Amino acid sequence: MKQLQVGLEERAYPILIKEGLLSEIGQELKLRPIAKRYIIIADDNVAELFGGHVVESLRNADIPVDLLTFPHGEASKNMATVEKLARSLAQLGVDRQDALIALGGGVTGDITGFLAAIYMRGISFVQVPTSLLAQVDSSVGGKTGVDIPEGKNLVGCFYQPKCVFIDTAVLKDLPREELLNGLAEVVKYGVIYDSDFFHFLVANQKSILDLEPTVVEAVVAHCCTIKARVVEADEREADLRRILNYGHTLGHAVEAASNFTIAHGKAISIGMAAVNTISVKKSLLGADKAQRIKDVLQGFGLPTDIPMDLDRGQMKEFLKTDKKSVNGKPFFVLPIQIGKVIITDDVDDVMIEEAFG
Ligand SMILES: NC(=O)c1ccc[n+]([C@@H]2O[C@H](COP(=O)([O-])OP(=O)(O)OC[C@H]3O[C@@H](n4cnc5c(N)ncnc54)[C@H](O)[C@@H]3O)[C@@H](O)[C@H]2O)c1
């Protein structure tokens, strides 16, 4: 078992990573009790695949447990789902001695974390991420929230979990497209923070795609370590944490202009390749390094070019209205070498147009 720590003083918490950990969660919670009773929240897919294992694991450890579900997919990440779940918690008599378990992908983690933050003005929660994206990114760092028709993640708060349990074995059930969503974030960490990790990814590409257990465990642990270090330095995204948005500003514009037919991970991959061309144009990054990043993304089966049929004008508009833009000016995370980036809004329209290709 690998054990990491997110060092946030009184909000510090451990991340445990192990193949097969799902069936040991009961024992782990017995060793590090967080609550008297636990309510697992999972989407219908994940509840069917793994809900039973986790319930059984807690029952075997004599811990009272219930399971609540909601329909899978981003469309559920809204206030209506939160209200429905909150009412179910109240009907079950859940109080502040109890805790929630977010069992699932980023959608479940974001909903459950937000619900935990506001139910009875805050109860504890635990993350048990099951998608690669959730294991390497969303389950660590305490960003929670839901979407409203006006925009994604517009309602939410920072609320840290008490513990993160990661069972890498569950990735075997993850659809290919969902694996790609996570892999784009994995490559991101190498480029923004750690060139050794980037080279590890290059050397182990096939084993990662084949989900070789020791390699996958190493990848997940490494990503969580980087995320933890970034969050420790800047919990509320005042500065350093913004590096995690590498490729995301342009990626979100690609995603939106495609009317969400291009999946998140693919859009982020395209976004990373596109901002690299800005870095090269600004003489911040060598063209050979930009090519190496492109090669890794493509090696994982991720796209790197903006499809010709996407409306460039529309993408430009999306960039300006991105919720992280200030006065209509987006910021960009630009690599200056593999493992190091800068954050800047000093990118003119011509460069953006060139990055669109
Ligand atoms: N809080 C954060 O810091 C943060 C960071 C990045 C993304 N996010 C959010 O995360 C969400 C995306 O997360 P996601 O990609 O995990 O989506 P998701 O939660 O919708 O999961 C993707 C799909 O995979 C299924 N699934 C999950 N684990 C599985 C498994 N092991 N086997 C088979 N199927 C499985 C789910 O049922 C779902 O259908 C977005 O809403 C995004 O805004 C949050």
> The domain that contains 260 carries what CATH number?
1.20.1090.10
Do β-strands 332-337 and 2-6 pair in parallel, antiparallel, or remain unpaired? unpaired
Which ligand 1 atom is at minimum distance from the Cα of 185?
6
Q: Is the pLDDT of residue 356 over 90?
A: no
Q: Is 112 in the pocket of ligand 1 (CB under 6 A)?
A: no
Element of type H or E holding 90: helix 79-91
pLDDT of residue 151: 86
Point out the ligand 1 atom lying closest to the alpha carbon of residue 265.
15
Is 74 a pocket residue for ligand 1 (Cβ < 6 Å)? yes
Indicate which residue's Cα is closest to atom 3 of ligand 1.
Answer: 138
Q: In which band, very low, low, confident or very high, does the pLDDT at 324 lie, cut at 50, 70 and 90?
A: confident
Query: Do 167 and 196 belong together in one domain?
Result: no
Which residue's CA lies nearest to atom 13 of ligand 1? Answer: 106
For residues 129-142, average pLDDT: 98
Based on the fold, state whether residues 192 and 327 are members of the same structural domain.
yes
Q: Are residues 163 and 197 in the same domain?
A: no
* 259 and 302 assigned to the same domain: yes
Among residues 173, 190, 225, the one where a domain terminates is: 173
Ligand 1 contact, 188 CB (< 6 A): no
pLDDT tens readout for residues 80-121:
999 999 999 999 999 999 999 999 999 999 999 999 999 999
Instruction: Evaluate whether 206 touches 119 at the Cβ level (below 8 Å).
Output: no
**Structural domain that includes position 135:** 2-173
Three-state secondary structure call for residue 127: strand
Domain boundary among 149, 173, 197: 173
Residues 65 and 81 in one domain: yes
Ligand 1 midpoint to CA 353 (Å): 31
- What letter represents residue 49's amino acid? L
Active site residue 121: yes
Instruction: Indicate if 107 and 247 belong to the same structural domain.
Output: no
H, E, C per residue of 138-149: HCCCCEEEEEEC
- Same-domain status, 67 and 44: yes
Return the percentage of the chain with pLDDT > 70, whole number: 100
What long-range pairs does 327-333 form, CB within 8 A, spacing at least 24?
Answer: 330/249, 331/242, 331/245, 331/249, 332/249, 332/250, 332/275, 332/278, 333/192, 333/242, 333/243, 333/245, 333/246, 333/247, 333/248, 333/249, 333/275
At 309 the three-state DSSP class reads: coil
Q: How far is Cα 264 from Cα 269, in angstroms, rounded to an integer? A: 9
Report the C-alpha gap between 306 and 319 in whole angstroms.
15
Domains identified in the chain, total number: 2
- Mean pLDDT of the chain, nearest integer: 96
Which residue minimizes the CA distance to atom 44 of ligand 1?
138
CATH number, position 12? 3.40.50.1970
Q: Is the CB of 232 under 6 A from ligand 1?
A: no
Could you tell me the distance, in angstroms and rounded to a whole number, from the CA of residue 104 to the centre of ligand 1? 7
Residues 184 and 243 in one domain: yes
Residues 14 and 125 in one domain: yes
Is 248's C-beta closer than 6 angstroms to any atom of ligand 1?
no
Are 193 and 161 within one domain?
no
Task: Single out the catalytic residue among 162, 242, 264, 294.
Answer: 264
User: Is 109 strand, coil or helix?
Assistant: helix
Q: Which H or E run includes 341?
A: strand 340-344
pLDDT surpassing 90 at residue 326: no
Query: What's the pLDDT at 226?
Result: 97
Q: What single-letter amino acid sits at 92? A: L
**Catalytic (active site) residue 264:** yes
**Residue 47 CB less than 6 A away from ligand 1:** no
Helices (H), 156-300: 176-193, 195-203, 205-209, 213-233, 248-257, 264-281, 287-299
Half-sphere exposure of residue 158: CA atoms within 13 angstroms, side-chain side: 9
Active-site residue, 72 included: no
**Is 134 near ligand 1, meaning CB less than 6 Å away?**
yes
Residues 227 and 350 in one domain: yes
Under the banding of pLDDT at 50, 70 and 90, the label for residue 328 is confident
Last residue of a domain, one of 134, 151, 173: 173
Question: Of 152, 165, 75, 97, nearest to 323 (Cα)?
Answer: 152
- Position 264 scores a pLDDT of 92
Shared domain for 133 and 212, answered yes or no, is: no
Q: Which of 318, 185, 157, 202 has the alpha carbon at shortest distance from 247?
A: 185
Per-residue pLDDT of 210-268, as tens digits, reads 999 999 999 999 999 999 999 999 999 998 999 999 999 999 999 999 999 999 999 99
As to burial, measured by CB atoms within 10 angstroms (0-12 exposed, 13-18 middle, 19+ buried), residue 176 is exposed
